[in-house]
Structure 1
Amino acid sequence: MPLPRILIIEDDKPTASKYARVLKQLGECTIVKSSPKVFYQLLLSNPQVILLDIELKGDPIFKSKKAGIRILEKLRELPPPYRHTSVIVVTGNREPEIETRCRQLGITDFFVKSAYSIHELRNSVTRSLERWEQKQREQKQQEQERRRKEFPTVILFLAASPLDATQIGWYQEFHDMHQALQRAEFGNQFDIWSFGEIRPSDLQTCLQKYRPEIVHFSGHGSKSGEIILEKRGGESHPVPVEALSKLFSILGGKVRCVVLNACYSEPQAQAIAKHVECVIGMSGEIYDGAAISFATAFYQALGFGNDVKTAFELGCVQIDLDRLDEPDKPKLIALNNDPATIVFTE
């Protein structure tokens, strides 16, 4: 995760350098000393906190002694998110009307250089960044809730292509699936979240965070039926069949369909089907072209309002239409449900 960005507006070089040394552990610091560079850096990096001196000597645009006030006024006229940036004023000007005007313009804190400690300044910046991080979390949560309401069906696309295995075209698979849903009549009722280089620890996080109705895996499978994820260093990590099945028994409450678009994944599909309405696995080795053709047609059919059984059959037919000679590899498993009754569109 990138560091927060702190913009230091200070014309005295030793003072600006001192701020940067103290604050470098909190965020990436950039120093500017005049208004033209202020607005350039503001638009370039969108800082989370600004340290602002009021008296910027020789400013080429705001030639008054109180150029910092004019910068602050212009900042508050900008569109979001720039106008909402946290500003901490550190100035040598002790005039009460200066502090009053700054507070009217919504600053976070006001320090007089001759009467503050550097630790107080650091604490103020820390609090500002904590508020920003909290707001980011709240906005992300609101966006997820909005998307859940706007897109009734969440598809979680997980992919792994370990460095020590043949590289697969999961990027192309995701692209073609996404395009197929966009072309479909009800494609706007699906929301796809995609994640590559999946490690075992990511599975629980993704299932709990995104609460999908459909989970799609693109990657390799072993001849013993295990899907292959990645270790931290990128090497292959086979996932035990029963372990993955147990994960879906615990966290698969909203999951209605699982697609394991990986070689030899039928045993894993059989195990997961004990806990999920329907699961698709591959009965043997399947090549990239056939896997992508199947997935593209399958999701396009769902996007046109078809049930899972029909979508599955259309996926198999597409492999035949593309002359890829593997239409019998995908297997649809539904132990306790009729896939002809499972529809994801309204």
Structure 2
Amino acid sequence: MSDETIISARRILILSANPRDTDRLRLDEEVREIRDRLNRAKYGNRFTVQLATAIRIRDLQQELLDHEPDIVHFCGHGETEGLLLENNLGEAVLVPSEGIASLFALCSQHVECVLLNSCHSSNQAEVISQHIPYVIGMKKEVFDDAAVEFAGGLYAALGAGRSIEDAFEFGRNALKLHDLPDELTPILLKQKVVANAPEKTISPKAKNTTSSDRPSVSAPVATKQNLPQRLITARQENKLIPIVGAGVSMSLKDESGERLFPGWDQLLEYAADALKTNMPLMP
């Protein structure tokens, strides 16, 4: 894989925990399904997958700091009060929802989506969604086969270039195709835009630019790590998105992008300039 491909790839971090005093889960099968679906997908090479197993509380910060993922996928046990990780003896320990949410608040500049593929994780999803654009949780108990199939359908769609919202629906459809009773268990929460939120700091050069006819820009923020999906979403929804960063990999300017969205080349040219000046991106 070339350096350019690595730079432009969206990073997926899979965190798994199955404490020895909890029921055994088929976590290996879930991870294998995710990797297999991405390997088979036409745009699968635009993703990298990192796996961290037997996660302890103190591992959470380190993994997020080390990998700076765009997508965080947790597979394991959950309760309404939080997620179950492992202590130093491999036994279950509860991580409260507020602690998890505050950690993701610290990582909100690069994390675009959090998937909690664990039982009773809707409460955690709710508090995390205050800081992260897309959060997927489970309203009730979710069984192994449903967790695997939902993940497979979701990542197959992401690997095909679909949006996170579309991928969520493909995951739910996979449950229906396999005649599993859990179709309505997964929920997708989107970050709410807070009214009268303080403006993000922009460079003096950007402030001097005429923008009277430009619509207001709303969260979430695009960085060079999540730019490909932000461009696609902005293109589909005809919205403006803000961009921060020092550069963008022009390896994304390929025939597949131009075929999917006419004008892709010009859009990326503008994105490259916008990243240098912290200007909003106009699709």
TM range (shorter): 0.5 to 0.7
In structure 1, the residue matched to 2:25 is 168
Question: Of 65, 83, 87, which aligns to 1:227?
Answer: 83
In structure 2, the residue matched to 1:55 is none
In 2, distance between residues paired with 1:172 and 1:150? Answer: 28
Question: Of 218, 229, 253, which aligns to 1:343?
Answer: 229
Matched, 1:272 2:158: no
Whether the aligned pair in 2 keeps the contact of 1:226 and 1:241 (CA below 8 Å) is yes
Give the deviation of 1:155 after TM superposition: 0.2
In structure 2, the residue matched to 1:181 is 38
Letter in 1 for 2:58: S
Whether the aligned pair in 2 keeps the contact of 1:280 and 1:333 (CA below 8 Å) is yes
In structure 2, the residue matched to 1:113 is none
Whether the aligned pair in 1 keeps the contact of 2:9 and 2:45 (CA below 8 Å) is no
Give the deviation of 1:150 after TM superposition: 4.5
Question: Of 43, 49, 55, which aligns to 1:192?
Answer: 49
Q: What are structure 1's unaligned runs of at least 5 residues? A: 1-142
In 2, distance between residues paired with 1:207 and 1:253? Answer: 12
Whether the aligned pair in 2 keeps the contact of 1:266 and 1:282 (CA below 8 Å) is yes
In 1, distance between residues paired with 2:228 and 2:142? Answer: 26
Instruction: Give the 5 Å matches for 1:35-114.
Output: none
In structure 2, the residue matched to 1:290 is 146
Whether the aligned pair in 2 keeps the contact of 1:225 and 1:266 (CA below 8 Å) is no
Moved more, 157-166 or 329-338: 329-338
SS state at 1:239 partner: strand
Give the deviation of 1:251 after TM superposition: 2.4
In 2, distance between residues paired with 1:164 and 1:173? Answer: 20
Question: Of 158, 161, 168, which aligns to 1:312?
Answer: 168
Structure 1 residues 342, 236: closer, same or farther in 2, change over 3 A?
farther
Higher helix share: 1
Question: Of 185, 204, 219, which aligns to 2:61?
Answer: 204
Q: TM-score, normalised by structure 2?
A: 0.67
In 2, distance between residues paired with 1:286 and 1:309? Answer: 20
Q: What root-mean-square deviation, in Å, do the aligned CA atoms of Structure 1 and Structure 2 show?
A: 2.3
Letter in 2 for 1:178: R
Give the deviation of 1:225 after TM superposition: 3.7
Give the deviation of 1:278 after TM superposition: 0.5
Letter in 1 for 2:66: K
Matched, 1:149 2:6: yes
In structure 2, the residue matched to 1:330 is 186
> Percent same amino acid at aligned positions?
35
Structure 1 residues 225, 296: closer, same or farther in 2, change over 3 A?
farther
Give the deviation of 1:252 after TM superposition: 3.0
Matched, 1:300 2:186: no
Letter in 2 for 1:229: L
In 2, distance between residues paired with 1:225 and 1:182? Answer: 35
In 1, distance between residues paired with 2:43 and 2:81? Answer: 34
SS state at 1:343 partner: helix
Instruction: Tell me how many residue pairs correspond in the alignment.
Output: 201
In 2, distance between residues paired with 1:159 and 1:342? Answer: 27
Letter in 2 for 1:326: D
SS state at 1:284 partner: coil
In 1, distance between residues paired with 2:29 and 2:20? Answer: 18
Structure 1 residues 176, 187: closer, same or farther in 2, change over 3 A?
same
Structure 1 residues 199, 146: closer, same or farther in 2, change over 3 A?
farther
In structure 2, the residue matched to 1:250 is 106
In 1, distance between residues paired with 2:8 and 2:85? Answer: 28
Whether the aligned pair in 1 keeps the contact of 2:131 and 2:191 (CA below 8 Å) is no
In 2, distance between residues paired with 1:250 and 1:191? Answer: 22
In 2, distance between residues paired with 1:151 and 1:230? Answer: 33
In 1, distance between residues paired with 2:71 and 2:154? Answer: 12
Structure 1 residues 342, 291: closer, same or farther in 2, change over 3 A?
farther
Whether the aligned pair in 1 keeps the contact of 2:5 and 2:46 (CA below 8 Å) is no
Give the deviation of 1:149 after TM superposition: 3.2
Letter in 2 for 1:294: F
Q: TM-score, normalised by structure 1?
A: 0.55
